[in-house]
């Protein structure tokens, strides 16, 4: 079987089959020993990180992944330091930067921006988050976390909780998980319900349960995937105030959970998960960062042809 990731753009989780995703997760597991031993697998290669929107973890995660494999990094962390300020199009930026780098990782506030970049770029483009649309590498690292921490993805009851409307992470993750044999629970306030097209698409493959009540589904969930309700998404502060604390997970909450259930969060969190949960057996949100590094090492190595 030829997965041929070499030279491939990573734009949407929808571009991948279950087999391809599992291949990436397998590759990520092989990266673990390299964290201590080091590697020169991508020696001489250059990654460009074009972050038109600020980010800490995603940018640093990709940069660390590239450096751990012996590669080098150029890039910018905010548009003000770039030619975008002078009115340049994405297409032009990409056609310049492709000369400086072997692979481009890009975050942008506009949906479709990474796809557009990939069309113009002669080097592979990896989508590191576009608007409220997609964040495919986050979805993959989340699936890796589930598989490693619970031993499998098939057969699990997985709850996505919080802002399902604007959270790009949950869009990609719902699509990705629907390729497995799971039951999905979308838990959100009415105004932040999962986009209808995502629900319809996912429902074609797996059972989906939409609810506003976390308590009602809490006892059956194997995975609680909690997201931040983003203040900046609300025009009306009163609307935000109404929903912000609605699914706050505390140590008390965890008592209604299955013994083995895990709590995940793409981070940063504000107060959706209280600090007293951090030390419980359920918390996995800091481990996600580590899996993210492994996943991105694997993706870079695959796309740049250093591994198959």
Annotated catalytic residue: which of 14, 18, 57, 95?
57
For a copy of itself, which is the closer residue by CB, 165 or 228? Answer: 228
Element (H, E) at 187: strand 183-187
Q: Degrees (nearest 5) of the Cα angle 39, 76, 15?
A: 70
**Terminal Cα-to-Cα distance of the chain (whole angstroms):** 11
What are the percentages of helix, strand and coil residues in the chain, rounded to 5? 45, 15, 40
Strands 125-130 and 157-161, by their bridges, are unpaired
For a copy of itself, which is the closer residue by CB, 186 or 285? Answer: 285
CB of residue 52 to a copy of itself, shortest distance in Å = 11
State yes or no: is 23 an active-site residue.
Answer: no
State yes or no: is 57 an active-site residue.
Answer: yes
State yes or no: is 17 an active-site residue.
Answer: no
CB of residue 142 to a copy of itself, shortest distance in Å = 15
Long-range Cβ contact pairs of 249-256 (< 8 A, separation 24 or more): 249/224, 249/273, 249/274, 249/277, 250/274, 250/276, 250/277, 251/276, 251/277, 251/280, 253/218, 253/277, 254/280, 254/282, 256/215, 256/218, 256/219
State yes or no: is 203 an active-site residue.
Answer: no
For a copy of itself, which is the closer residue by CB, 37 or 196? Answer: 37
Q: Pull the structure tokens for residue 27.
A: 């590759």
CB of residue 301 to a copy of itself, shortest distance in Å = 16
CB of residue 183 to a copy of itself, shortest distance in Å = 30
For a copy of itself, which is the closer residue by CB, 67 or 191? Answer: 67
State yes or no: is 58 an active-site residue.
Answer: yes
Annotated catalytic residue: which of 49, 58, 169, 254?
58
Residue numbers at the binding site for a copy of itself (CB under 8 A)? 38-39, 43-44, 46, 48, 51, 54-57, 60-61, 63-64, 67-68, 72-78, 80-88, 91-93, 95-97, 99-101, 228, 230, 267-270, 275, 286, 289-290, 292-293
Annotated catalytic residue: which of 8, 23, 59, 135?
135
For a copy of itself, which is the closer residue by CB, 75 or 162? Answer: 75
Q: At what angle do helices 136-150 and 285-303 cross, to 10 degrees?
A: 120
Annotated catalytic residue: which of 8, 59, 68, 107?
107
Bridge partners, 207 (sequence order)? 183
Sequence-ordered list of residues with C-beta below 8 angstroms from that of 165, at least 6 positions apart, any chain:
132, 188, 191, 192, 193, 194, 195, 233
CB of residue 270 to a copy of itself, shortest distance in Å = 5
List the catalytic residues: 57-58, 86, 107, 135
């Amino acid at each position: 079987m030829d997965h041929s990731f070499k030279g491939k753009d990573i734009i949407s989780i929808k571009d991948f089959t279950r087999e391809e995703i599992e291949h990436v997760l397998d590759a990520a597991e092989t990266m673990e020993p390299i964290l201590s031993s080091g590697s020169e697998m991508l020696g001489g290669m250059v990654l460009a990180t074009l972050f038109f929107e600020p980010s800490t973890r995603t940018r640093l995660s990709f940069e660390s992944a590239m450096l751990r494999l012996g590669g080098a990094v150029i890039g910018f962390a905010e548009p003000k330091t770039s030619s975008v300020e002078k009115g340049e199009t994405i297409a032009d930026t990409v056609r310049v930067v492709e000369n400086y780098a072997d692979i481009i990782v890009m975050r942008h506030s506009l949906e479709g921006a990474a796809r557009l970049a990939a069309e113009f770029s002669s080097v592979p483009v990896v989508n590191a988050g576009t608007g409220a649309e997609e964040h495919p590498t986050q979805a993959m690292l989340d699936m890796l976390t589930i598989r490693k921490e619970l031993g499998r993805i098939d057969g699990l009851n997985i709850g996505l909780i919080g802002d399902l409307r604007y959270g790009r992470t949950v869009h990609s993750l719902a699509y990705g998980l629907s390729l497995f044999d799971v039951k999905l629970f979308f838990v959100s306030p009415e105004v932040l319900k999962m986009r209808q097209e995502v629900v319809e698409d996912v429902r074609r493959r797996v059972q989906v349960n939409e609810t506003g009540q976390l308590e009602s589904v809490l006892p059956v969930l194997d995975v609680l995937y909690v997201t931040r309700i983003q203040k900046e998404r609300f025009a009306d502060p009163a609307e935000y105030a109404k929903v912000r604390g609605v699914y706050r997970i505390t140590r008390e909450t965890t008592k209604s959970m299955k013994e083995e259930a895990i709590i995940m969060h793409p981070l940063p969190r504000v107060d959706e998960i209280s600090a007293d949960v951090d030390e419980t057996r359920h918390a996995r949100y800091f481990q996600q960062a580590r899996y993210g590094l492994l996943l991105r090492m694997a993706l870079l190595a695959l796309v740049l042809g250093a591994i198959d």
